[in-house]
Structure 1
């Protein structure tokens, strides 16, 4: 932990500041933060014994598990998991089989599960025993995707890599006799990849910055890219979020000019994906606008396999992590979003009209409205700053010709209005009943100066979780905020019990009963000198209790979470286990989930259930 400096208040000082204003913060989190930060010893999470001082029903009904470095998914006693949908699994039972030597063709890959499973959502069809599962495929591990890795790159390898990105829509059903889940032969099943036609909608549609040689009108684009997390809408569609787009585009031998839009969006002179060598649209020397057509929230209708995905430009262009939709005071759509980059921002979109009115008139609730960015004040208050053309900092003289440019260059617009740079704002979720918004700041090792109350640690290796309270009004332009917890170990000033130490919170989700599920991706505290595998914990925010529920295999990310309506089946994604493997040694760091002597590790969706059939986590 860094020594205190005038710019780096101590953890105890920060805790005192938060405690001093806690009475002003509404909702159930107030007592929870006392338990995590507070004046007494932290709550032990090693058993299920009820040690809370706060009363009420206990939400966490399982014993916390210990950290693990095993090549396995570890769960509490009384729980089991099933591998449901690994990379290469056909999206319908009759589809092409997975070749464990990675010799499937691009055509076959386009009918199979993509790689790097991330955000997802379960849409019930017949109660809790069947539904449509939408699964994002964020990226690929190229050295394992092809039998010979990156060697001898070809148009076929580009095609296969592009087919392994995007979204899967599958129909799943549970066997009443054995409780197992299986994929169904379904008319809904489809893959959305980097060659699937999509439509650009909203204020930026047709703008010159979105026009290319293949699309001179700027309204049609092939594919969706780096699909990170996601969110359902109240009208039963699926939002998939395009995140780290910069690594797919080649700028040239020299990097972009300092201060340019391209530099601000992370475009470099190197691309880890060689797509540009066979596809001109990824070479910015040929198509400089193609990258403007990615970095959006994309809406998919899982119930209409013939529908075209829509890129909703009113929600801004950035490294979108996930998108949480709630109804505002007037019934309008309100969408919370994080931009997953060090020193970037947290956003909110407020629709211009009620959802029902827009849908009745054939309009999208997400195509018109106001995009805001968050500013966190030192006193625990905050403001949503509107990103509207013509406002101070967002005029033509400031370099924004119109509202479309404000949205295409969202990051620059947020810079211009004075938003608060955060430590990688990623997933967000809304607490049932209170409406409080929680979001993760995964980490920021580049913060070597200029800490602030909302980002209180220098070189924040382990990250933290924030909470926003809008007093029940999602459409409000002001809010109160607090740091819910600081992740890490005792040496880093963490505010969680030492036996539940974790780092790099990423995925975040409240279930219907109010449990806060926390998933990790990145640096974890060491146990007995070894850094533990990534994990998933559960917090009871009202009681201030937190418990480790799952630990994944080596080098994986735990991400993506959704459940059946009855809460008895929990879907979780294990992303890129064993990604240090090579074509010659694919099983170097993991052989999960197949453990085949001739296979390779695979990202996968798992289903977690209790052996007694009751609610997971309870």
Structure 2
């Protein structure tokens, strides 16, 4: 049997926010196929029969001349100066100018320095070889830092001199990881390397004193890699149901691996949550039922990783593994303090393309988690635990807290605007009352651990959560990504990254008011009946874009001419002063600048003043972020730098610029966790 060469099919689309390479590898070309959500939200429809026609991708090559640009010089698009004001309380900096999309540099404000903490391939253990680009093996990668780091946290121990770094490894970029080959043995080994390069990592850190930059520790006692082969325990009402049983796991309780890990959150009890997002692209399956079609917009017999060739569980055409995709798409929980612990997958929190989950404690002690489903026209969710958080630090209290996400109530959001429909034109014109705002309800999908959706069992609601949300009339949103409550005010901030089909396949509304929304927006929610309650108010904080060319931009009323251009908000975080920080994913293809990290004050006369703090290299995405402003430290994960290149024609040298300038050969860019500090 001749095994075809595992290479990318050339494409050139960028319908939404992403480059063609990201679309293919990260979300399996979701924007090219029929939309997954074809519901009317008034009654259930046969999803498969409502699919719209698939668009045709243009066939153009992805690799070109290197054209590297260093040290802020612009290659291609010039970055004009702008008049952003220095920031308010918190980390002091003067906003940087936006950086053109062909610049291969990591740019920080004057007075700041940067360096990677850890890079793809760096060994976590002394028994593991140093990274060798031309000698990669699955065994080595399983003990090395993985690829495409996304969600990030830096958790300091009480001394402040030691701690752990926890990050997701979302997906791989074969084109820039390996030279072309058609050798069957090499292709098999690469498929195993991909498994080992994905998942999560826990890495111990150390430093001389509080406020210093961190160094990672080889052989740290908490060092751990979680991969596509790691065993997870399913928890909650759907665990053990017929919907999650397979030939390899007839109990339906033990799942091998985690996939598409995107954003996440850290719990008050010290564990880390990770969202399984674009899991569907790793399975060969038939989208021939409403349940399957709601999670994947096309049938396929092959995948980019090629796992279905060697591992039967990734071939969902096999009757024994038709349920294997149902075992992914959850919030997973890992204990970074115990490398021997079994990570958990929480079915009570629903199954969809989780961007992540962020937790707060309600007034009555219950745990509340906010979650976005990252696909066009999908929904915002909230989970409220049955049990109450125990603040004690004993081992027994911690074990109890680690079961809080296994039982509770799941809700989906329905938004209502307070302006007449005729005032929402799709052009971004502010309604007559001066704001895009309104009220909303959290509609229950489960109560007391039982389904409240007519015609669906509890297991069906939690495994086919999207269908349940369709039935109860949830509001279709413009790609709900990260959603996080402010630790100071309790207000909740939702990043809606974009939706080029808004106003085309689904009408505009006051919550999603822009036709063909390429630049995204940020919504501010205020819970009006308590954090665990079922009513909220909302308003749009930001309508993103470049004010110089995008007429409808809005920055909470702050003068447009004074802000940093921003597009495609992705992850959000907060500093100690309550300022919102936003990382972006998609600026190169929308406003022509590299992605970056931005601060947005939420109070006072600076409210809405978007200020750019850093810019990542060409073709990279800004992930994380983590803001330790009292120590003068900021951390980001830099994902897929130089993704449009190829071996022998790389378009980025990140992060090894010094080595490159010294004449050393840099074979490939390396996704990395970067720290920025004053100095």
Query: In angstroms, what is the RMSD of aligned CA positions?
Result: 2.3
Gaps of 5+ in 2: 1-81, 419-437
Q: Distance in 2 between matches of 1:149 and 1:171?
A: 36
Contact (CA 8 Å) 1:59, 1:540: kept in 2 or not? no
> 1:391 deviation in Å?
9.5
Residue 463 (structure 1) aligned to one of 502, 508, 520: 520
Residue 355 (structure 1) aligned to one of 380, 389, 396: 389
Contact (CA 8 Å) 1:462, 1:524: kept in 2 or not? no
Contact (CA 8 Å) 2:529, 2:536: kept in 1 or not? no
Contact (CA 8 Å) 1:502, 1:524: kept in 2 or not? no
Q: Look up the SS of the partner of 2:360 in the other structure.
A: strand
The answer as to 2:569 corresponding to 1:505 is yes
How big is each residue's C-alpha offset from its partner over 1:171-215, in whole Å with a ceiling of 9 and x where there is no partner?
011244994421123111010000011110111100101000100
Residue 377 (structure 1) aligned to one of 396, 416, 425: 416
Q: Look up the SS of the partner of 1:550 in the other structure.
A: strand
> 1:149 deviation in Å?
6.5
Residue 197 (structure 1) aligned to one of 224, 228, 231: 231
> 1:431 deviation in Å?
1.6
> 1:110 deviation in Å?
0.4
Contact (CA 8 Å) 2:90, 2:629: kept in 1 or not? no
Q: Which residue of 2 aligns with 1:302?
A: 336
How big is each residue's C-alpha offset from its partner over 1:486-505, in whole Å with a ceiling of 9 and x where there is no partner?
00123431124345111100
Cα distance change, pair 126–486 in 1 and its aligned pair in 2 (3 A): same
Q: Which residue of 1 aligns with 2:207?
A: 174
Q: Distance in 2 between matches of 1:525 and 1:148?
A: 27
Q: Look up the SS of the partner of 2:414 in the other structure.
A: strand
Gaps of 5+ in 1: 1-43, 51-56, 612-618
Q: Which residue of 1 aligns with 2:14?
A: none
Q: Distance in 1 between matches of 2:499 and 2:526?
A: 24
Q: Distance in 2 between matches of 1:444 and 1:167?
A: 29
Q: Which residue of 1 aligns with 2:673?
A: 605
Cα distance change, pair 475–150 in 1 and its aligned pair in 2 (3 A): farther
Cα distance change, pair 92–291 in 1 and its aligned pair in 2 (3 A): same
Q: Which residue of 1 aligns with 2:404?
A: 365
TM-score by length of 2: 0.77
> 1:150 deviation in Å?
7.7
Q: Distance in 1 between matches of 2:83 and 2:601?
A: 11
The answer as to 2:592 corresponding to 1:592 is no
The answer as to 2:609 corresponding to 1:541 is no
Judge which range, 232-241 or 594-603, deviates more.
Answer: 594-603
Residue 474 (structure 1) aligned to one of 531, 537, 545: 531
Judge which range, 214-223 or 443-452, deviates more.
Answer: 443-452
Residue 291 (structure 2) aligned to one of 253, 261, 264: 261
Q: Look up the SS of the partner of 1:482 in the other structure.
A: strand
How big is each residue's C-alpha offset from its partner over 1:18-54, in whole Å with a ceiling of 9 and x where there is no partner?
xxxxxxxxxxxxxxxxxxxxxxxxxx85232x8xxxx
Contact (CA 8 Å) 1:93, 1:183: kept in 2 or not? no
TM-score by length of 1: 0.84
The answer as to 2:154 corresponding to 1:99 is no
Contact (CA 8 Å) 1:558, 1:573: kept in 2 or not? yes
Q: Which residue of 2 aligns with 1:39?
A: none
Q: Which residue of 1 aligns with 2:255?
A: 221
Q: Distance in 2 between matches of 1:68 and 1:159?
A: 37
Judge which range, 446-455 or 418-427, deviates more.
Answer: 446-455
After TM superposition, the structure 1 = structure 2 runs for residues 392-471 of structure 1, keeping only pairs within 5 Å, are 394-396=453-455, 400=456, 402-449=457-504, 450-471=507-528
The answer as to 2:85 corresponding to 1:85 is no
Cα distance change, pair 143–149 in 1 and its aligned pair in 2 (3 A): farther
How big is each residue's C-alpha offset from its partner over 1:111-139, in whole Å with a ceiling of 9 and x where there is no partner?
01111110011221243332111111000
